[in-house]
């Protein structure tokens, strides 16, 4: 059995994420598709060039092929449909991702 230490931080805007990302150095970021100041996929595009190692997951209202295509273009591998996934589903996804990370 592997144990993981998880430290969570919350940001209220994309601007706050961009200001704090270097100090926090997250392995994974959950982003809502609708952030107060910019679209979540646009935020992913701002993060990606400087932090390609960060795993990003986007919460979206729909799991449509168009959203998935745009997410893939932003190098976001995990699109989470808000209405369909439970907290158990999200935890299972995180565990799977963490088990795939190099030790």
Give ∠ CA 42-44-49 in degrees, rounded to 5: 110
Neighbouring residues of 18: CB distance < 8 A, sequence distance ≥ 6: 43, 46, 47
Per CATH, domain 14-100 is 3.40.50.2300: yes
Q: Write out the chain's pLDDT in tens, 103 residues.
A: 556 667 889 999 999 999 999 998 898 999 998 888 899 999 999 999 999 999 999 998 877 788 788 888 888 888 888 888 888 998 898 888 888 877 6
Q: Token pair of 31, please?
A: 């982003």
């Amino acid at each position: 059995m592997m144990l993981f230490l998880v430290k969570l931080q919350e940001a209220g805007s994309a601007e706050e994420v961009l200001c704090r990302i270097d100090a926090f150095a997250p392995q994974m970021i959950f982003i809502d598709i609708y952030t107060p100041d910019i679209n979540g996929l646009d935020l992913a595009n701002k993060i990606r060039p400087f932090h390609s190692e960060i795993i990003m997951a986007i919460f979206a209202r729909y799991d449509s092929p168009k959203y998935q295509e745009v997410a893939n273009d932003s190098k976001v591998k995990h699109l989470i449909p808000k209405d369909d996934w439970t907290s158990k589903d999200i935890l299972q996804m995180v565990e799977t991702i963490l088990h795939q990370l190099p030790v």
